[in-house]
Amino acid sequence: MDKDYATIFGRILNNYSPVSPSTMETVIDSGNLQVYKKNDIIFPEKKFNAFEYFQLEGITHRYNNDEDNQAITTGIYTGEEVITPHFARTINSQSIFSLQALTACSFIRIPIGAFDKFRFTNDEIRAFGQRVVEKEFIRNLNYEVLFRSFTAKDRLLFFRANYPAHENLIPHTVIASFLGITPVSFSRLRNELVKQK
């Protein structure tokens, strides 16, 4: 495993809960490095999936296809992140959303059986897993409040504050979908904000 990727993986784990170098090494040895190009599908909706994903670098989005087969973005992952845990993103081990690379990305992918074994036998990984679930819950609650009570303009300002420079890195159609507005409305809002400066 590339030493830099191991360092990033350790940083991801420790961002949630302290993990010793020996535990980190044991966990990373059970997985493998996966590299994806821009627009690659990392895993598709409604297909069997039995892995945990740790995003080392890049930008991805989770989405579902609507009845017209248009992608509806429901989340954006940037940089060093844990993708929604397996138990929360699958039903009968089938993914409830797709994950796509919006830029070149790399991941550590760990089989769910191996990771569950760590969770049940290692206190550090159990604590890590608990913190991941807590942060995921808080993030989803914040998004629910955001989308139920903020105007489209406020949602765009939130996006800019939480994802700086992403407007220049990922397709505007993805951002508009994430904000729950049309690409035309997104363009209009951007122009309005430029005029207000």
Mean pLDDT of 12-26: 94
CA 78 vs CA 21, 34, 165: distances in Å: 24, 16, 11
pTM of this structure = 0.92
**Band (3; pLDDT cuts 50, 70, 90):** low
**Band (144; pLDDT cuts 50, 70, 90):** confident
To 10 degrees, the CA torsion angle through 24, 50, 178, 128? Answer: -30
Q: What is the per-residue pLDDT across 29-78, written as a single tens digit (0 to 9) for each?
A: 999 999 999 999 999 999 999 999 999 999 999 999 999 999 999 999 99
CA 147 vs CA 136, 142, 167, 179: distances in Å: 16, 9, 19, 8
Contact call for residues 75 and 141 (beta carbons, < 8 A): no
Nearest to 86 by CA among 112, 107, 56: 112
* pLDDT confidence of residue 142: 85
